[in-house]
């Protein structure tokens, strides 16, 4: 029998776990229409496999984080991966839409790979070094969404939509083996009982720093969700781009995000968390302001428009690793709970911005209004970062 890991995981292991957890959201998206036809249902019902999945991931992060603080990162991660693998088999073989959707919601348990990888990083290293490691992991968060749909589309074209879920099954088995052999326990001070743990929660919930970091995360990611919701409308209806060109336009923000995370990996060890957060927010807001000025000056083209949006991705790449490390550093003994709660806030904020953007945009107002919505969200992140900076100046840093 393969020996269980007893040492902290390698960075490459955490990167792989994070990458696969992201692929499960979007790899099968090109197959949605074929899946709806195969099950004989409306596309709107089929889309619950995305919206419902996101909702469950938000709830699970609230549960898995505290469980990992009590019982350790390793058992909760392995349990989540086992459930994900079994659910992937269920999706692969499902012949009824409701059976499929039930197993699809269970697939959300793979969020343990991303949420607990973040917590493990904070267990292993100090806050600023954690921000640098999270920056390296974050590069995958940009690359995986770009490659996943292309791979899923290829699988559907050659083997049918069920092939994606067969691949998810194999990836689940692979992640279980990887976590078993290279994911030793990193939580060296688990809570003795849930009662003791719950007595510590008010310290986290009452922390102004925690909410500053978490709101900075939520608003920063919200600008990204607003963009991917409205970009297809602007690119297709207003600029008249082809589907392939639309994909390139949407990819612009993820390209900027990858480069921003690369910079975080280089700079975070020598710069404070608040400096990194503020730098990212200024870059994002500055790019959007330039875009709005150009639109108001009637300088509107796909290159100028999406070129400005690149800075949102770049800014997020600088901000998110620092803000995430900061949220988990407020109470290090509750790093799992902090990761879960801040992650749930990110998903909830993204869902709200998605609904708002979809409700108010039209071909007539989309070009300028989308930038204003993104600027409002990015600006909210800037205010949250400034709030954390103010606390640091008054009370000193905690990391």
Q: Which domain holds residue 158?
A: 11-185
Q: What is the mean pLDDT of residues 243-264?
A: 78
Instruction: Report whether pLDDT(252) > 80.
Output: no
Give the per-residue pLDDT at 6. 73
Give the per-residue pLDDT at 31. 80
Shared-domain flag, residues 344 and 215: yes
Q: What is the mean pLDDT of residues 277-282?
A: 96
Confidence of residue 359 (pLDDT cuts 50, 70, 90): confident
Could you read off the pLDDT of 187-245 as tens digits, one per residue?
887 776 666 666 666 777 888 999 999 999 999 999 988 887 777 677 766 777 765 56
Within-domain flag for 272 = yes
Shared-domain flag, residues 178 and 208: no
Shared-domain flag, residues 161 and 220: no
Please provide the DSSP assignment of 37-96 as one string. Answer: HHHT--HHHHTHHHHHHHHHHHHHHHHHHHHHHHH-HHHHHHHHHHHHHHHHHHHHH--S
Shared-domain flag, residues 226 and 78: no
Instruction: Report whether pLDDT(166) > 90.
Output: yes
Shared-domain flag, residues 207 and 313: yes
Give the per-residue pLDDT at 225. 83
Within-domain flag for 389 = yes
Confidence of residue 69 (pLDDT cuts 50, 70, 90): confident
Shared-domain flag, residues 289 and 380: yes
Q: What is the mean pLDDT of residues 370-378?
A: 94
Q: Return d(Cα 28, Cα 152) in angstroms, integer.
A: 5
Confidence of residue 4 (pLDDT cuts 50, 70, 90): low
Shared-domain flag, residues 212 and 114: no
Give the per-residue pLDDT at 246. 67
Give the per-residue pLDDT at 276. 94
* Highest mean pLDDT (candidates 7-11, 91-95, 356-360): 91-95
Distance of CA 122 to the CA centre of its chain: 17
Shared-domain flag, residues 229 and 153: no
Within-domain flag for 371 = yes
Q: What is the mean pLDDT of residues 69-95?
A: 93
Q: For the purposes of burial, counting CB atoms within 10 Å of the CB of 238, is it exposed (0-12), middle (13-18) or buried (19 or more)?
A: middle
Q: At what angle do helices 162-182 and 11-26 cross, to 10 degrees?
A: 160
Instruction: Report whether pLDDT(253) > 90.
Output: no
Give the per-residue pLDDT at 85. 97
Share of the chain above pLDDT 90, in %: 34
Within-domain flag for 169 = yes
Give the pTM: 0.81
Give the per-residue pLDDT at 2. 61
Give the per-residue pLDDT at 76. 93
Q: 280 or 367, which is more confident?
A: 280
Shared-domain flag, residues 165 and 295: no
Confidence of residue 1 (pLDDT cuts 50, 70, 90): low
Shared-domain flag, residues 218 and 338: yes
Domain's final residue, options 185, 219, 245 = 185
Average pLDDT over all residues of the chain? 85
Share of the chain above pLDDT 70, in %: 91
Instruction: Report whether pLDDT(5) > 70.
Output: no
Closest CA to 285 of 365, 385, 386, 376: 376
133 Cβ contact list (under 8 Å, min separation 6) = 11, 14, 121, 125, 265, 321
Shared-domain flag, residues 158 and 217: no
Within-domain flag for 258 = yes
Pure H helices in the chain: 11-26, 32-39, 43-46, 48-71, 73-93, 97-107, 111-124, 127-159, 162-182, 194-205, 208-232, 243-267, 273-296, 302-329, 335-360, 366-395
**Token pair for 15:** 């990167």
CATH value at residue 159: 1.20.1250.20
Q: 87 or 306, which is more confident?
A: 87
């Amino acid at each position: 029998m393969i020996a269980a890991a007893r040492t902290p995981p390698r960075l490459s292991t955490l990167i792989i776990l994070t990458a696969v957890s992201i692929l499960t959201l979007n790899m099968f998206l090109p197959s949605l229409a074929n899946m709806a036809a195969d099950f004989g249902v409306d596309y709107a019902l089929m889309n619950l496999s995305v919206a419902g999945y996101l909702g469950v991931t938000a709830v699970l992060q609230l549960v898995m984080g505290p469980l990992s603080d009590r019982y350790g990162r390793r058992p909760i991660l392995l349990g989540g991966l086992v459930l994900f693998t079994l659910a992937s088999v269920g999706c692969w073989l499902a012949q009824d839409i409701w059976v499929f959707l039930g197993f699809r919601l269970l697939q959300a348990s793979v969020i343990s790979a991303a949420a607990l990888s973040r917590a493990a990083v904070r267990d292993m290293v100090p806050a600023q070094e954690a921000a640098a490691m999270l920056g390296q992991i974050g590069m995958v968060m940009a690359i995986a969404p770009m490659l996943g749909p292309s791979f899923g589309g290829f699988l559907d074209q050659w083997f049918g939509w069920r092939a994606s879920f067969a691949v998810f099954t194999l990836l689940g088995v692979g992640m279980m083996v990887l976590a078993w052999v290279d994911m030793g326990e990193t939580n060296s001070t688990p809570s003795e009982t849930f009662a003791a743990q719950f007595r510590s929660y008010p310290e986290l919930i009452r922390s102004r720093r925690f909410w500053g970091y978490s709101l900075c995360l939520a608003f920063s990611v919200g600008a990204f969700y607003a963009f991917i919701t409205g970009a297809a409308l602007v690119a297709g209806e207003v600029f008249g781009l082809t589907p392939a060109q639309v994909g390139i336009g949407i990819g612009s923000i993820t390209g900027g995000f990858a480069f921003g995370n690369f910079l975080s990996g280089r700079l975070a060890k020598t710069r404070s968390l608040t400096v990194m957060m503020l730098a990212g927010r200024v870059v994002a807001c500055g790019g959007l302001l330039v875009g709005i000025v150009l639109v108001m000056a009637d300088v509107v083209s796909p290159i100028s428009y999406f070129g400005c949006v690149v800075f949102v991705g770049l800014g997020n790449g600088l901000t998110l690793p620092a803000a995430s490390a900061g949220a988990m550093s407020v109470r290090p003994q509750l790093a799992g709970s902090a990761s879960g709660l801040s992650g749930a806030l990110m998903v909830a904020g993204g869902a709200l911005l998605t609904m708002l953007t979809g409700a108010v945009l039209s071909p007539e107002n989309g070009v300028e209004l989308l930038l204003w919505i993104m600027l409002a969200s990015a600006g909210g992140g800037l205010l949250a970062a400034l709030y954390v900076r103010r606390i640091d100046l008054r009370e000193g840093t905690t990391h």
